[in-house]
Amino acid sequence: MTRSHSIAVLPGDGIGPEVVSCALEVLDAAEQRFGFATERSEFSAGAGHYLATGELFDAVEPRLRDRDAILFGSMGDPRVTPGVLERGFILEMRQRFQQAANVRPVRLYPGVPSPIAGLTPERCEMVIVRENTEGAYVGRGSTVHAGTPNAVAMQESLNTRAGIERVVDFSFRLALGRRRRLTLCHKTNILVAAGQLWQQVVAEVGERYPEVEVDYVHVDAMCFHLPLAPERFDVVVTDNLFGDIITDLGAVIQGGLGVATSANLNLDGSAPSMFEAIHGSAPDIAGTGRANPAGAILSLALMLGHLGEGDAARAVEAATVEVLGGLPALSGAEMGLSTPQIGTRIAQIVRDGRA
C-alpha cells in the first residue's frame, strides 16, 4: 500500500499562489520518484479572502485540524490594516495548533552569494529554534490615560516553564543529531525574570543531554556573532520576539528571503505543523514571474522530512540548491528564469533522480 499524507495547501496572497504552485509541481515529482502519495486540499485564506469574506483563521481551523501538515504560501495586502492578518490568522494558528517551535535553518548553500563578505557555506550551517506561542507575542498590553500627555502603555511578556521546556527539549534533541552544540540567546542581564527562567530550564533540561555543549549569547551580541562568526552556532534557541528578529538576520546572511524557510512545529501531535517560506506576499511583483520559488520549495522539503519522507526531503533540497547555485541572481528579472521555469527545472531534477 502506498504511503499517503493528507496536506492542506494555503497559497494565500500575492506571490504566494505562484510559488506554492511550483512547490506542488516539485511535490508531484517527489511522489513519482519516491512512491508516496498526498491527498491535497486547497483553502482560500489571507488578505484577499479576508477582504471578500471577513474570515480569518477561525473559519478554516476545523478543516485544517486533522491534516498531516499545512503548506503555506504568504499573506498580506496593503488594503488590510496592519496586524489584522498577523494576529487573526498567523498567531492564531500558532496558538490554536500549539505550533510551539518555529524552526528556521540558516544555511548558506553553495553557489548562493551571501551579503557577508567572505562567508563560506562550511561556516554557516545552523538551525534557529524560536519559541512560537508566548513571550511578548501573547498580546497582553494596555494603556492608561490614552490620548493624554500622561499616557502610559504597558506591554507584557509571559513566559511559562512548560512553554520554554518543550522548545528547549526539542532543541537539545535537534542538537544531538547535529554538531551537539546548543546556544541560548536572550538578554538575561536586563530581562531578569524571564531570563532566569530560560536559563534554569536550559540548565535542567541540559542534564538529560550531557553530550550537548551549552552556550549563551545576549541578543545584542548575536547581531555581531551571527554575521561575523556563524560557525559558532549549531542550534540556537531563543524566545518569540528575539527569534523574530534574529531569524531575519539569519535569512540575510544565507542570501536573503528567496532561500529562507521555516517550520512551525506542533511538538505533541495534537494538531498539524505548518511550513512556509519566510518572504511576504510581495504584491509589487505578483504576477510578473519574478518571484523566486526556492523558499517555498525548501519549505516543502522541510515538510517532507517532517512527514517521514526523508529521502524525498533530501532530494528536493538538493535539487533546489543545484538550481539556486546556477541562477545569476536570487530575485527579480535578473534571475534569468521565471518563477514557473525555476519550479519546473527543480521538479525535473527531482523526477530524473539527478539529486
Ligand X SMILES: CC(C)[C@H](C(=O)O)[C@@H](O)C(=O)O
Considering only residues 33, 40, 87, 96, which one is a binding residue for a second copy as defined by CB under 8 A?
A: 87
Nearer to ligand X, 218 or 351 (CB): 218
Interactions with ligand X, residue window 29-68 (CB under 6 A):
none
Q: Locate 182 and state its grid cell.
A: 546548543
Per the residue annotation, which of 58, 66, 220, 352 is the catalytic one? 220
Q: Given CA atoms 307, 311, 317, 319 in this order, what sign does their dihedral have?
A: negative
**216 flagged as catalytic:** no
What is the SS3 assignment for 342?
helix
Q: How far is the CB of 188 from ligand X (least distance, A)?
A: 11
**187 flagged as catalytic:** yes
- Give the full edge-to-edge strand order of the sheet including 273-277: 36-42, 3-12, 69-74, 273-277, 261-265, 101-107, 125-131, 235-238, 181-186, 213-218
Nearer to a second copy, 246 or 300 (CB): 246
Distance from first CA to last CA of the chain, Å, rounded?
Answer: 25
219 binds ligand X (CB under 6 A): no
244 binds ligand X (CB under 6 A): yes
Q: Name the strand (E) or helix (H) holding 42.
A: strand 36-42
Specify the length of the chain in residues: 355
How far is the C-alpha of 315 from the C-alpha of 291, rounded, in Å?
22
215 binds a second copy (CB under 8 A): no
Nearer to ligand X, 23 or 246 (CB): 246
Nearer to a second copy, 201 or 316 (CB): 201
322 binds ligand X (CB under 6 A): no
**137 flagged as catalytic:** yes
Return the closest-CA partner of residue 262 out of 132, 163, 137, 156: 132
**248 flagged as catalytic:** yes
Per the residue annotation, which of 187, 209, 234, 239 is the catalytic one? 187
Q: How far is the CB of 260 from ligand X (least distance, A)?
A: 10
Q: Which stretch binds ligand X (CB under 6 A): 86-94, 147-155, 208-216, 345-353?
A: 86-94
Give the distance, in angstroms, between the CA of residue 313 and the centroid of all CA atoms in the same chain: 16
Nearer to a second copy, 20 or 116 (CB): 116
Residues 6 or more apart in contact with residue 70 via CB below 8 angstroms: 7, 8, 9, 10, 64, 93, 272, 273, 274, 275
How far is the C-alpha of 331 from the C-alpha of 289, rounded, in Å?
10
**311 flagged as catalytic:** no
Q: Which stretch binds a second copy (CB under 8 A): 18-26, 38-46, 47-55, 184-192?
A: 184-192
Cβ atoms of residues 9 and 43 within 8 Å = yes
Nearer to a second copy, 88 or 340 (CB): 88
114 binds a second copy (CB under 8 A): yes
Q: Tell me which residues touch a second copy (CB under 8 A).
A: 82-83, 86-87, 91, 113-118, 136-137, 139, 141-143, 145-162, 187-194, 196-197, 200, 219-221, 223-224, 227-228, 241, 244-249, 251-252, 256-257
So which residues are the catalytic ones? 137, 187, 220, 244, 248
